[in-house]
Homo-oligomer: A and B are copies of this chain.
Amino acid sequence: MITKSELRTRQKQAAALLKRAGILITAREKAAIEIADFGLNEFTRTGLGVLVYVNTDRCCAKELAMWPRQTCPEHIHPPVGRDPGKEETFRCRWGKVYLYVSGPKSQGRHCQPPASPKGAYTIWHEIELNPGDQYTIYPGTKHWFQAGPQGAVVSEFSTRSTDEKDIFTDARIQRITKIA
């Protein structure tokens, strides 16, 4: 849960991160940035700033603003009806992001997940994304990601986004942020 005042402060900070990445947004878009705390009340550790540019029945584009060392927790995009599940491409625009996807455990990993119950993180194959790097995640691929020490701005290009359908490994998580 976050307060309305915290929401506004975080939206300003997210807009400043986007600006640092050279991304210009309108005042209306700034006020529409989602501050996702995943219901864990530790936003700068587990959270994400999300600006949805477009989300139609067929495709979606977003900017993700990440605070230093902030983590988007492990999840998967399941099939929804006839949809085989969301497919998404992450493109790093500014800062650095470490992406963890299904695959062989990487040695010398750069991140620790935030403190959480046993079994909340299970995926350890690391992909480092610097500005200009990108990676496509196909449906059925568990993943989580963490920003580097300065934070990160990541563009996401995807099929239709249905965040409320995402399945998180950590059973405590509530994807839709409550605003008090």
Interface, chain A (partner B; CB < 8 A): 21-26, 29, 53-54, 56, 58-61, 87, 89, 91, 93, 131-134, 136, 155, 157-159
CA distance A173 to B172 in the complex (A): 57
Contact A132 B54 (CB under 8 A): no
Assembly of this chain: how many copies? 2
- Evaluate contact between A54 and B134: CB separation under 8 angstroms: yes
Which chain B residues lie closer than 8 Å to A56 at the CB level? 87, 89, 136
Contact A61 B58 (CB under 8 A): no
Contacting residues, chain B, for A21 (C-beta < 8 A): 22
Complex alpha-carbon distance, A71 and B87, angstroms: 32
19 A-B pairs with CB atoms under 8 Å apart are A21-B22, A22-B23, A24-B93, A24-B131, A24-B132, A26-B132, A53-B134, A54-B136, A54-B157, A56-B89, A58-B87, A59-B157, A59-B158, A59-B159, A60-B157, A61-B61, A61-B89, A61-B155, A61-B157
Expressed in whole angstroms, the Cα–Cα distance for A61 and B54 within the complex equals 12
Distance A87 CA – B160 CA, assembled complex (angstroms): 12
Question: CB-CB < 8 A to A91: which residues of B?
Answer: 53, 61
